[in-house]
């Protein structure tokens, strides 16, 4: 059984300008021990998909779904008796079997609380341990994520840590209760390359050693190539293609995926190959296109694309893509 299963997740935001359709019928699942990458441009709905699942959505957001099952438990917000019951359940899950790592560690760390306290708190909240035992566990976690001289560091405040060190602390907090699922939202975007390499290596090791599943949100195709077993490509609030790392990189089916792969520079490749940018810019989710979200930028668009949304076509047990080009009956001119 999958660790997390999501079916037809929709997230709408009510704003003064109207409704923002941020996540539009997203379905995917993840197995224990697996790393899934979610790639897509800014505003494509990557973060809101995850916030909707873990219950950290802004107040103006509404989530509906046919199914969100985590570790055997139904966590569709609408299936709870009331908001309070939902929030309590999610709070419990979040500190425990599901953990989140954010792009900016300072949105998560309390600036006026010592690092030690921020580590021991989640441990004590979810386990029956003494303060001393929690302190020992905290030191062990700090060692595990590679913080030098943890005995000294544990008494310091976040501002005394560099960006890379703060991100390690966040990872240590996330690991405190051996989560089954770690959701990382651009965890290395703000870091330097050599520090990014350290943090990625750390996440990879933890995944391999602890058997946790990882969902990695990023717009860096290098990061998913390194870390992920499967990759979902998001565009305009939808998953337009999903497959194994090899299926996505070596046999992409969706014109957006193909475009994305053609406009990155692979420094190993021969140099003078020109990049092929994708013209135009992403759709406005306040007024999403009626048909395929990519239609305004797609070089291969068909007649049907503007009016109707394409269904998913299956290429293998793991690989599927939503595009009319792969639909037999669609008229190709």
Partner 1 sequence: MSEKPILSVRNLKTYFDVTKGLFSKKQIVKAVDDVSFDVLENETFGLVGESGCGKTTLGRTIVKLYEPEAGSIEFMGTDIAHLKGAELKSFRKDMQMIFQDPYASLNPRMTVGEIIKEPMIIHNIYNTDQEREERVVELLRIVGLKPDHIRRYPAEFSGGQRQRIGIARALAVNPKFIVCDEPISALDVSIQAQVINLLKNIQKEMGLSYLFIAHDLSMVKHISDRIGVMYLGHMVEMGKSDDVYHRPLHPYTTALLSAIPIPDPDTAKTKQRILLEGEIPSPINPPAGCPFSTRCPKASERCRKEMPQPIEVGGRMVACHLYER
Ligand X SMILES: Nc1ncnc2c1ncn2[C@@H]1O[C@H](COP(=O)(O)OP(=O)(O)OP(=O)(O)O)[C@@H](O)[C@H]1O
| Interacting residue ranges for ligand X, rule: CB under 6 A | 13, 15, 20, 22, 40, 42-48, 58, 60-61, 219, 285
Total interface residues for Mg ion by CB under 5 A: 1
Q: Which stretch binds Mg ion (CB under 5 A): 42-50, 61-69, 158-166, 265-273?
A: 42-50
Token digits of residue 131? 């303060």
- 305 binds ligand SF4, rule: CB under 6 A: yes
Instruction: Check if the beta carbon of residue 170 is closer than 8 Å to that of residue 108.
Output: yes
- 47 binds Mg ion, rule: CB under 5 A: yes
Among 165, 218, 310, 319, binds ligand SF4 (CB under 6 A): 310
Token digits of residue 268? 């190993």
Query: Of residues 216-235, which lie at the interface with partner 1 (CB under 8 A)?
Result: 219-223, 225-226
Helix (H, G, I), strand (E, B) or coil at 181: strand
Query: Of residues 75-114, which lie at the interface with partner 1 (CB under 8 A)?
Result: none
Query: Of residues 245-274, which lie at the interface with ligand SF4 (CB under 6 A)?
Result: 254-255
Total interface residues for partner 1 by CB under 8 A: 43
89 binds, among partner 1, ligand SF4, Mg ion, none (CB under 5 to 8 A by kind): none
Pairing of strands 98-101, 181-185: parallel
Cα–Cα dist 194/133, whole Å? 34
Query: Of residues 20-49, which lie at the interface with partner 1 (CB under 8 A)?
Result: 41-42
Q: Which stretch binds partner 1 (CB under 8 A): 14-22, 57-65, 161-169, 322-330?
A: 161-169
Instruction: Check if the beta carbon of residue 115 is closer than 8 Å to that of residue 173.
Output: no
Paired strand residues for 61: 13
> How many helices (H) does the chain have, and how many strands (E)?
10, 13
For 6, phi and psi rounded to 5 degrees?
-125, 130
Q: Is 299 exposed, middle or buried (0-12, 13-18, 19+ CB in 10 A)?
A: exposed
Q: Which stretch binds ligand SF4 (CB under 6 A): 81-89, 187-195, 222-230, 317-325?
A: 317-325
Q: Contact letters (x/-) for ligand SF4, 200-239, by CB under 6 A?
A: ----------------------------------------
The candidate with the shortest Cα–Cα distance to 180, out of 137, 138, 145, 215, is 215
CB of 146 to partner 1, least distance (A): 9
Q: Where are the alpha helices (DSSP H) in 251-300?
A: 255-262
For 14, phi and psi rounded to 5 degrees?
-90, 125
Residues near ligand SF4, by CB under 6 A: 254-255, 292, 294-295, 298, 300-302, 305, 310, 323-325
């Amino acid at each position: 059984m999958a660790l997390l299963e999501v079916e037809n997740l929709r997230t709408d935001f009510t704003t003064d300008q109207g409704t923002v359709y941020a996540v539009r019928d997203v379905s995917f699942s993840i197995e224990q021990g697996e790393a899934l990458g979610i790639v897509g441009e800014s505003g494509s709905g990557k973060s809101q998909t995850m916030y909707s699942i873990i219950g950290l959505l802004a107040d103006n957001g509404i989530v509906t779904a046919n199914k969100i099952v985590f570790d055997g438990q139904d966590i569709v917000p609408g299936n709870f008796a009331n908001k309070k019951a939902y929030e309590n359940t999610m709070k419990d899950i979040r500190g425990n079997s599901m953990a989140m790592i954010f792009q900016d560690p300072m949105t998560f760390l309390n600036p006026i609380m010592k690092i030690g306290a921020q580590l021991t708190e989640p441990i004590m909240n979810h386990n029956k341990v003494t303060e001393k035992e929690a302190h020992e566990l905290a030191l062990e976690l700090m060692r595990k994520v590679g913080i030098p001289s943890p005995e000294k560091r544990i008494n310091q405040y976040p501002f005394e840590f560099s960006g890379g060190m703060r991100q390690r602390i966040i990872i240590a907090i996330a690991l405190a209760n051996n989560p089954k699922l770690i959701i990382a939202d651009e965890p290395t975007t703000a870091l330097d390359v050599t520090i990014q390499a350290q943090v990625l290596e750390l996440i990879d090791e933890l995944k391999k050693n602890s058997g946790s599943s990882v969902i990695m949100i990023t717009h860096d195709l290098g990061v998913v190539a390194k870390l992920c077993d499967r990759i979902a490509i998001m565009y305009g609030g939808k998953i337009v293609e999903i497959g194994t790392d090899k299926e996505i990189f070596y046999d992409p089916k969706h014109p957006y995926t193909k475009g994305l792969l053609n406009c990155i520079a692979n420094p190993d490749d021969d140099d003078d190959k020109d990049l092929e940018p994708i013209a135009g810019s992403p759709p406005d989710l306040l007024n999403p296109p009626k048909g395929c979200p990519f239609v305004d930028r797609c070089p291969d668009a068909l007649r049907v694309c503007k009016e109707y949304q394409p269904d998913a076509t299956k290429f293998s047990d793991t690989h599927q893509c939503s595009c009319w080009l792969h639909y037999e009956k669609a008229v190709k001119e």
